[in-house]
Chains A and B, each alone.
Chain A
Amino acid sequence: MDFIALAISAVKIVGLVFLVIMPMVAYAVWAERRVSALIQDRVGPNRVGFQGLLQPVADGLKFILKEDFTPKNVRTGYYWLAPALTMVPALLTCAVLPFGSQLFGEPMVIANLNAGPLFIFAIASLSVYGIVLAGWASNSKYPFLGGVRSTSQMISYEISLGLSIIPVLMILGDLNLGRMVQDQSVNGWLMLPLWGDRFSLKGLLLLVPVVISFVVFTVSMFAETNRLPFDLPECETELVAGYHTEYSSMKFALFFLGEYAAMIIGSGLAVTLFFGGWSLPFGWLSWDGKADLPWWQGLIHMATFFGKVVVFILFFIWVRWSLPRFRFDQLMRLGLVFFFEIAVINIILTAGIMMLVK
């Protein structure tokens, strides 16, 4: 019995991480290059395979076969540890994301924790170690500056990231991501309260704080994943390549992949919290977690979840190629002076609406 449960967990872990997230990371890189080319009116990588679809394979081979060069004056142990420390937390966080409703009576989440969003923040807050270590272990000034920037940026935006989802937790009244999605599936998504219980005066009024918290959440997510317009830690114009200047071949690739993995998990969390995770809009094929689902419905739910995540990733890419980079002091001021206060006020606003409007 115990063995079977372990085996099922193992299948879910391998299936999600190696068969879904890793290929998604690889194709997110491809999508990034193709979409950026589209935006800038270029062609982009379209040679390897149909429309360049095999480009990730070629890139991977190239990274593995390149010379793995370790500069002489680095602190070797930490220099080797750093890429792993960026990649591992990013992949660990996917353990609590409900990526589907149910398939053959099995809930489609690896670990059904009662503190899902907190778990994601906790593990994501560990990913700063990779970047800090990379900056410090490289023992050279540009990586070091990148590492310092990254630390202060990630610590500051963690505050607004954490505070921004408190209204969501207040409205849904649960810390379990799976149940949060089930609630939204029956009662209407937080960002689209057009059916079920949430299609009421209270639900529509609550849309105001929800939209604010979504904006704060998304912007903080950009800062946490070091994506443009907040990619100051690796700002090419000032710091060569920031914290991974001294890295080559697969170690560099791990930083790169870690960033994309974090982006995918971040998108997954945003989808889960604000856009009803695996649920279809308007309560179609909704599921409250009680009865068993037929397998085709479970598959549709999974496809819905990953479809939403892909849309979100395209949004990430679109923003990257549309906005210029912030200056570092502007970035810190925006995080600590603007978003922090907005998030706090938003909590009070949500509490007021929930208390006054029946």
Chain B
Amino acid sequence: MLFYLFAAIALAGGLGVVAFRNPVTSAFSLVASFLGLAALFIHLNAFLVGVLQVLVYAGAIMVLFLFIIMLLDIKSDEGPKITKLMGLGAALLAMVFVGMLWRVTVSLKSAPLETLYPEVRSDAHEIGRLLFGEYFFPVQVVGILLLVATIGVVVLSRRAVR
């Protein structure tokens, strides 16, 4: 019951992103879609993933998007004309993507988290264990990459001020 409600919200939001001409409305549809998705995650008992979905995507990234749309004051624009070739390419790409999704969905076991992995206390613990156990080295590499990027931004913005 709840699943269909939130899935409908997520899908309607996704449709809204492409259908609306006003960029702010599109951005808000995306937010609605993220919220629906987060609700679905929480429905699967993956609290941490659901909450991070809201915190990172809806709460931070989309706010920045919206901020920039509003600052630049983009009017509802027409965009480039869609040619037949572009339409064909898009359809092909969409079909490939749907095919991939279908393969993944078929290969999954579907059951509540507790029955699949009874030893898991909560998804936060499990994610932490994996990140800082099995995948410790990649996490460190990504962390250093992000740190370098952050420092780079600080250095660049400093120079611009002077």
Question: Would A118 and B51 be within 8 Å (CB), given that A126-B58, A155-B64 are in contact?
Answer: yes
Which residues in A have their C-beta under 8 angstroms from that of B38? 122
Residues B70 and A129 in contact, CB atoms below 8 Å apart:
no
When C-beta atoms are compared, the residue in chain B nearest to A169 turns out to be: B124
- Counting CB contacts under 8 A, is B111 at the interface? no
Q: Is A151 in contact with chain B by the CB < 8 A criterion?
A: yes
Instruction: List which A111-156 residues lie within 8 A (CB) of chain B.
Output: 113-115, 118-119, 121-123, 125-126, 128-129, 132, 135-136, 144, 147-148, 151-152, 154-155
Chain B residues whose C-beta falls within 8 Å of the C-beta of A175 in the assembled complex: 48, 122, 124
| A94 to B108 Cα, complex, angstroms | 36
- Residue B44 at the A interface, CB < 8 A? no
Q: What's the least CB distance linking A354 to chain B, in Å?
A: 15
Whose C-beta in chain B lies nearest to the C-beta of A118? B51
B52 at the interface (CB under 8 A from A): yes
Question: Which of B31, B58, B67 interacts with A148 by CB under 8 Å?
Answer: B67
Cβ-Cβ contact count across A and B, 8 Å cutoff:
67
Q: How far is the CA of A155 from the CA of B124 in the complex (A)?
A: 24
Tell me the minimal C-beta distance from A161 to chain B in angstroms.
11
Is A183 located at the chain interface by the 8 A CB criterion? no
Whether the Cβ atoms of B47 and A113 lie closer than 8 Å is: yes
Enumerate chain B residues within 8 angstroms of A154, measured Cβ to Cβ.
63
Give the shortest distance, in Å, between B36 (CB) and chain A (any CB). Answer: 14
> Hey, which bits of chain A sit against chain B, CB under 8 A?
78, 113-115, 118-119, 121-123, 125-126, 128-129, 132, 135-136, 144, 147-148, 151-152, 154-155, 158, 175
5 contacts between A and B (CB under 8 A): A144-B70, A147-B70, A158-B59, A175-B48, A175-B122
